[in-house]
Amino acid sequence: MDESVNPQPNRKVLIIEDEYFISELYVRALEKAGYEVVLAIDGKDGFDKALSDAFDIILLDIMVPTMTGTEILERLRERSPAIKAKIIIITNLEQGEENKQKIEQQADGYIIKAEITPKQLVGFLNNIK
Amino acid sequence: MDHSKKLKTQVYGQIAFGLLAVGAVSVGLWYILFEQMDLDSIVALILAFAGIIGFALVLGELLTRVVLEPIQTLTNAILHVAPNHENAPSSPPNLDAVRIGRELVSSMALQIYQMASHESAKEVETDSRRESIIQAVNVVNHLPLPLFVLNSERQITNASESGIAYVGLESGKLFGQPLEDTIRLEFPSEKTLSSWIDECQKNKVTSTRLWERVRVTLPDQSMKQCDISAHYNRDNPSGAEFIITFFDRTERYSQDDESLGFVALAVHELRTPLTMLRGYIEVLEDELADSVDEEMRDFMHKMNVAAAQLTIFVNNILNVARIEQNQLMMNLTEADWSKTINSVLDDMDVRAKINGITIERNIDKDIPTVGIDNISIYEVVANLIDNAIKYSKGSEKIIVSSRVGDNGLIETTVQDFGIGMPTSVTTNLFEKFYRNHRTRGKAAGTGLGLYLIKSIISAHGGQVWVNSKEGEGSTFGFSVVPYSQLTDEQKQGDGKDIIRQSHGWVKNHSMYRR
């Protein structure tokens, strides 16, 4: 799989992630691959941006301030059921069984950040519809 | 029977505790009176004696109560069912209050109630099954524990009132349904209720079994953790072949879950900097490689490999914690074995190369699809290769082979030509934290890897083994089951629309179909 070329140019990605080093790496890798990236470092801000429905992919961290990723996911599905973005959870936190089931129902994908390098993330997103 | 052994151990524990306590108090008293308070030796002796006797009497009384509880409970159960006994208690004994030997006592109590229902069925002199079931209902109803009676078809024919309340369905919707259609049960090993029932029906007349830490999902989707005891009696006249009792331990086990919560948090804290390290190293490797010399490039590769190794170790910690809590879930799906194993080996090639080792692949072409949990199998193979590299010292290759074994299982071996070990240590190798004392200090490791591998492979229905010779190297092997041989129950583990990979999952409908 070619990881460097975005097969669907001009796709917009929203990253909701508060760890500065991680978001720096992700933004850099995605922009290099031709994605347009918007970053939110705060849960509420991220939620409002997501509601605009201007994105093809939303990368959603779980441990973010003011509103957790699971809350954002739940409320997005409630408020905006027809949202076009694929919502991918990105986290390093193992979920309890209940949370896990909820995420499996509501998210489109799930990534353990430590298991994947920025380039591999790009490859993963390139394969998402 | 296991239960009586357990009771014996518990009673032994109580008595030993008592003796130790008396001993400790004697020494303490003697020390205080004689050494500290400087009393006259005769006075000290008399006072010490009085103290010890008093203590022994109180402790004896307490321990006797605990130890006699099982007998008293059973006596109460017998009196309770005894017709017209003047001292008959009006309610059945509270099994939950028994502190030791609860499994044995509940099993005996059930047999008492079963026999009683048999007797009263005779008195009524109608041997219609229905009548005797009604009798059993009366008895079962009074038990204070969630209890279900199953017939040979595994359908619920009866339940205690607390059982009906526990499930939260009306009895009309509950009775006649197979138990495991109503309540989802997840067992810590492949020895499930269902496999026990199979075994009973094949070759047993009576049997009793206890499972601990069973995860229970009730019809309203709430999750509980229970110990479950089951009794089988083929010749029970009431037609009640299986009696299943639930001991709800959600509260106690959820305290353990919180300790898993601690591990999960610690793992999160380890993974966050690890994510950054791997990310920055990747950038350096990609963008700096052309402008630095060979040695620097080699260093960057080594950093990369070290970070990847740490990732595996962090996952090992998490998974061992999950195994301990019966929370390591397998989602068995159909997979192409040679593709699976080759993709892990692709990842491990870099790591081997950095250590001057090549991985030779010897994977048969015609291997049928297997039923595996992708993530866990990745961890099994990665751990085995990691070990092989660690213990290779000086040799230059590792051979990985896969083929269909004589028993139809798919066998995979990882062979190194390193330091090897004597037979005396290979027997305990798959135990937790076991490490060969000779290699301790020579190679790093926690001894978690092989324990994890064994747990994962047994959960897949496969086996692990090792052959080794000192100075010549070791061969570690494991087997997995062809997908066609999985039972429907095992296949049900996962929704078809989720594709799982080592780093997470993605929904099928979100992917390009290729």
Report the residue of chain A nearest B494, measured CA to CA.
A104
Using the beta-carbon criterion (under 8 Å), do B511 and A129 form an inter-chain contact?
Answer: yes
Asked, for residue B61, whether it belongs to a domain, the answer is yes
Both B228 and B134 in one domain: the answer is yes
Nearest CB to B510; choose among A19, A86, A119: A86
Nearest CB to A92; choose among B215, B275, B495: B275
pLDDT at A29 over 70: yes
Both B75 and B107 in one domain: the answer is no
pLDDT at B398 over 90: yes
> A29 lies in which domain range?
12-126
Structure tokens at B372: 């595996």
pLDDT at B87 over 90: no
Q: What percent of chain B has pLDDT over 90?
A: 19
- 0.95 surpassed by pTM: no
B453 vs B305: CA distance, rounded Å: 21
Both B44 and B192 in one domain: the answer is no
Q: How many CB pairs under 8 A join A and B?
A: 95
B146 vs B161: CA distance, rounded Å: 7
The DSSP call for residue B233 is E
Using the beta-carbon criterion (under 8 Å), do A92 and B271 form an inter-chain contact?
Answer: yes
Q: What's the confidence (pLDDT) of residue B123? A: 45
Distance in Å, alpha carbon of A128 to nearest chain B alpha carbon: 5
Both B181 and B42 in one domain: the answer is no
Report the residue of chain B nearest A4, measured CA to CA.
B286
Using the beta-carbon criterion (under 8 Å), do A114 and B498 form an inter-chain contact?
Answer: no
Q: Which residues of B touch A69 (CB under 8 A)?
A: none
Top-confidence residue, B259 or B224: B224
Q: Give residue A116's region: left, alpha or beta (phi > 0; psi -120 to 50).
A: beta
Mean pLDDT for all residues in chain B:
81
Both B446 and B360 in one domain: the answer is yes
CA atoms within 13 A on the CB side of A4: 1
Q: Which residues of A touch B223 (CB under 8 A)?
A: 97-98
Asked, for residue B87, whether it belongs to a domain, the answer is no
Q: Which residues of A touch B509 (CB under 8 A)?
A: 129
Report the residue of A20, A89, A90, A94 to disrupt the B interface, i.e. the one with the largest count of B CBs within 10 Å: A94
Asked, for residue A52, whether it belongs to a domain, the answer is yes
Domain final position from B192, B213, B248: B248
Q: What's the confidence (pLDDT) of residue B289? A: 84
Asked, for residue A34, whether it belongs to a domain, the answer is yes
CATH number at residue A31: 3.40.50.2300
Asked, for residue A116, whether it belongs to a domain, the answer is yes
Domain final position from B305, B328, B351: B328
Top-confidence residue, B94 or A39: A39
B73 vs B398: CA distance, rounded Å: 62
Using the beta-carbon criterion (under 8 Å), do B268 and A124 form an inter-chain contact?
Answer: no
Both B274 and B233 in one domain: the answer is no
Top-confidence residue, B345 or B5: B345
Nearest CB to A111; choose among B261, B498, B503: B503
pLDDT at B380 over 80: yes
CA angle B480, B483, B486 (to 5 degrees): 85
Q: What's the confidence (pLDDT) of residue B413? A: 96
> B148 lies in which domain range?
101-248
Q: Which residues of A touch B279 (CB under 8 A)?
A: 21-22, 25-26, 117-118
Both B22 and B71 in one domain: the answer is yes
> Picking from B84-88, B146-150, B200-204, B233-237, which range would have the lowest pLDDT averaged per residue?
B84-88
Q: What's the confidence (pLDDT) of residue A108? A: 94
Which residue bears the tokens 């926690």?
B446
Top-confidence residue, B151 or A2: B151
**Cβ-based interface (< 8 Å): residues of A facing B:** 19, 21-22, 25-26, 28, 63, 86, 88-89, 92-94, 96-98, 104, 107-120, 124, 127-129
Using the beta-carbon criterion (under 8 Å), do A114 and B495 form an inter-chain contact?
Answer: no
Nearest CB to A114; choose among B311, B498, B509: B311
B9 vs B492: CA distance, rounded Å: 39
Domain final position from B311, B328, B345: B328
Distance in Å, alpha carbon of A47 to nearest chain B alpha carbon: 22
Asked, for residue A6, whether it belongs to a domain, the answer is no
Q: What's the confidence (pLDDT) of residue B435? A: 57
Both B141 and B268 in one domain: the answer is no
CATH number at residue B487: 3.30.565.10
Both B114 and B38 in one domain: the answer is no
Task: Please enumerate, as own/partner, the contacts of B323-327 that have beta carbons within 8 Å and a separation of 24 or more.
Answer: B323/B451, B323/B452, B323/B455, B324/B256, B325/B213, B325/B253, B325/B256, B325/B257, B325/B259, B325/B260, B326/B186, B326/B188, B326/B213, B326/B214, B326/B215, B327/A97, B327/B257, B327/B260
Q: What's the confidence (pLDDT) of residue B126? A: 43
Both B396 and B313 in one domain: the answer is no
Report the residue of chain A nearest B265, measured CA to CA.
A93
Total count of domains within chain A: 1
pLDDT-derived band of residue B127, with 50, 70 and 90 as boundaries?
very low
Both B475 and B369 in one domain: the answer is yes
